[in-house]
Chain A
Amino acid sequence: MRRSSDTPPRAVITGAGVIAPNGSGCDGFWKAVLQGTVALDRVSREGCTHLPLRVAGEVRGFEPEPLVESRFLVQTDRFTHFAMAAADLALEDARLTGDPQAPFTIGVTTAAGSGGGEFGQRELQELWGNGPHFVGPYQSIAWFYAASTGQISIRGGFRGPCGVLANDEAGGLDVFAHARRALGHGTRAVVTGATEAPLAPYSMVCQLGYPELSLAEDPHRAYLPFTEHACGFSPAEGGAMFVVEDEDWARRRDARIRAQVVGHASTFTGTRSWEHSRQGLARAIQGALDDAGCDPEEVDVVFADALGVPAADQAEALAISDALGVRAADVPVTAPKAGFGRAFSAASALDVAAAVFALEHGAVPPTPNVAEVRVDLDVVTGHARSVPLRTALVLSRGLMGCNSALVLRRADDGGHS
């Protein structure tokens, strides 16, 4: 089954690893998403409870030890702990292990927007409280956005193409485009995705400047995208990592193909106002569909960005309408993140996980906490909807102005070679 050398490799997802506020592992996360479980809750993290941000999606009970060796834990922040643990889950799911004889066949690409704020705060407090000698040398690498890519690469011996995207929320989709582009030329797989840990005092204070942040007190009313009560978004932590693989290689090793990555496009419309995101997001959707060779009528489900800010929600609804035409009126649209929060760059990676599982199960999960919507979209609320799904469109916009769209397809043969 060798393809001709001028055909680019087809990218497929062969493994997923999820650590999220509403559940971890593929099964735990999907079960919670399908049921519309609300994991948003009052902020309980130490040093954060006096801040005006009251509701967030915390990953509770996550113990990085014994998942990750202590020598990697001492030099990394919580966001990298999530990344290493989720990467392990994804690799295990894909039944893929690094080959020491061929270290360049696997690469790593992650996105991060918040970085290692908790680690950085601890070390800077040592600097100001005790002096330079009390700052550990790992401060030089742990806070940095690139830390997760670097540590996953070192730990797994993955020396193929590596990259880091530090743009904004859209980065969690853009990493799939980077991974797809890296395949071929000797690269068989890329460990890719995004994780964030922005629920620590310093990181949280940084977010307080975002007018889009919801300061509401009730976990069931804080993040209500597409409704008349929309008052911003609730942040979250955690994320998802995947194995994106050259389909030829995946089939050759008899891997289970969970989904195909068939289209992506991104645009930038800046931070002036959310109305401008309409044109940019519509263009990204059109670009991704063109890339996938997919007609709007073929889109079976949309995983929305769902910022929860009225102007942004309206712009997204119009963008979907602009790009999908008549299909926009009846395509099921969902935002599972309304139940567990928006984990910055990792929010869209978690949406990709939900989309992959939705394609596999033929079910569109509901948008938790949302009952009546005020946009002209068929937003799935209440209960999951069973419907045959072949093509999913995942959307993301970032607070810094990036807009991205990703098109996923169910494997032609249900995933089995």
Chain B
Amino acid sequence: MNGPVTYDELASLMKGRAGLDVDTATLEERPDAEFAVFDLDSLGLLGIVSELEKRYGRSIGGEPEMAKTPRAFLTIVNEQLKAGV
């Protein structure tokens, strides 16, 4: 699999890994809102990166765990997956 990781997948990861009820539409409407607005902390984001690395079977560079917003996060993750790094 090479992605792309979607807002839908991100929303389900936020639920599964961090216990947050955020729906896909909200993420799509507010892709530049900070993760803190959705109550996602840095450890929660780290858990999501770890889960994606398991799913896609590779480590994801580019420090996506440092991203502040859903759009920034998905941009890094999908660039990394597309590049096949």
Measured CB to CB, the residues of A under 8 A from B are 69-75, 133-134, 136-138, 140-141
Chain B residues with CB below 8 A from A134, complex form: 54
Other-chain contact of A141, B17, B18, B21, B43 (Cβ < 8 Å): B43
Contact indicator A74/B43 (Cβ below 8 Å): no
- A74 and B19 contact, Cβ closer than 8 Å, known pairs A137-B43, A138-B43, A138-B47: yes
| Chain A residue at minimal CB-CB distance from B65 | A137
Measured CB to CB, the residues of B under 8 A from A are 17-21, 39, 43-44, 46-47, 50, 53-54
Contact indicator A137/B46 (Cβ below 8 Å): yes
C-alpha spacing A134/B51, complex, angstroms: 8
C-alpha spacing A134/B44, complex, angstroms: 14
SS class of chain B's interface: helix, strand, loop or mixed? helix
C-alpha spacing A136/B21, complex, angstroms: 19
Contact indicator A74/B18 (Cβ below 8 Å): yes
C-alpha spacing A71/B44, complex, angstroms: 9
Chain A residues with CB below 8 A from B50, complex form: 133, 136-137
Chain B residues with CB below 8 A from A75, complex form: 18-19, 43-44
C-alpha spacing A67/B36, complex, angstroms: 23
Can you list the 3 inter-chain pairs with the closest CB atoms, starting with the nearest? A70-B19, A74-B19, A71-B19
Chain B residues with CB below 8 A from A69, complex form: 19
Chain A residues with CB below 8 A from B47, complex form: 136-138
**Taking the nearest CB of chain B, how far is it from the CB of A11, in angstroms?**
33
C-alpha spacing A134/B46, complex, angstroms: 12
Listed residue (B43, B46, B53) with the most chain A CB atoms within 10 angstroms of its CB: B43
C-alpha spacing A36/B54, complex, angstroms: 52
- A140 and B19 contact, Cβ closer than 8 Å, known pairs A133-B53, A133-B54, A134-B54: no
C-alpha spacing A353/B54, complex, angstroms: 47
- A74 and B17 contact, Cβ closer than 8 Å, known pairs A138-B43, A141-B43: yes
Chain B residues with CB below 8 A from A72, complex form: 19
Contact indicator B18/A71 (Cβ below 8 Å): yes
Contact indicator A71/B43 (Cβ below 8 Å): no
Can you list 17 A-B pairs with a CB-CB distance of less than 8 A?
A: A70-B19, A70-B20, A70-B21, A74-B17, A75-B43, A75-B44, A133-B50, A133-B53, A136-B47, A136-B50, A137-B44, A137-B46, A137-B50, A138-B43, A138-B47, A140-B43, A141-B43
**Taking the nearest CB of chain B, how far is it from the CB of A317, in angstroms?**
49
**Taking the nearest CB of chain A, how far is it from the CB of B63, in angstroms?**
15
C-alpha spacing A72/B19, complex, angstroms: 7
C-alpha spacing A375/B20, complex, angstroms: 55
C-alpha spacing A73/B15, complex, angstroms: 12
Contact indicator A136/B17 (Cβ below 8 Å): yes
Other-chain contact of B19, A73, A133, A141 (Cβ < 8 Å): A73
C-alpha spacing A69/B50, complex, angstroms: 23
Listed residue (A70, A71, A136, A138) with the most chain B CB atoms within 10 angstroms of its CB: A71
Chain A residues with CB below 8 A from B21, complex form: 70
Chain A residues with CB below 8 A from B19, complex form: 69-75
Contact indicator B53/A71 (Cβ below 8 Å): no
Listed residue (B19, B50, B53) with the most chain A CB atoms within 10 angstroms of its CB: B19
**Taking the nearest CB of chain B, how far is it from the CB of A63, in angstroms?**
15
| Chain A residue at minimal CB-CB distance from B53 | A133
C-alpha spacing A70/B54, complex, angstroms: 23
Chain A residues with CB below 8 A from B43, complex form: 75, 137-138, 140-141
Chain A residues with CB below 8 A from B17, complex form: 74, 136
| Chain B residue at minimal CB-CB distance from A70 | B19
Chain A residues with CB below 8 A from B20, complex form: 70-71
Contact indicator A71/B54 (Cβ below 8 Å): no
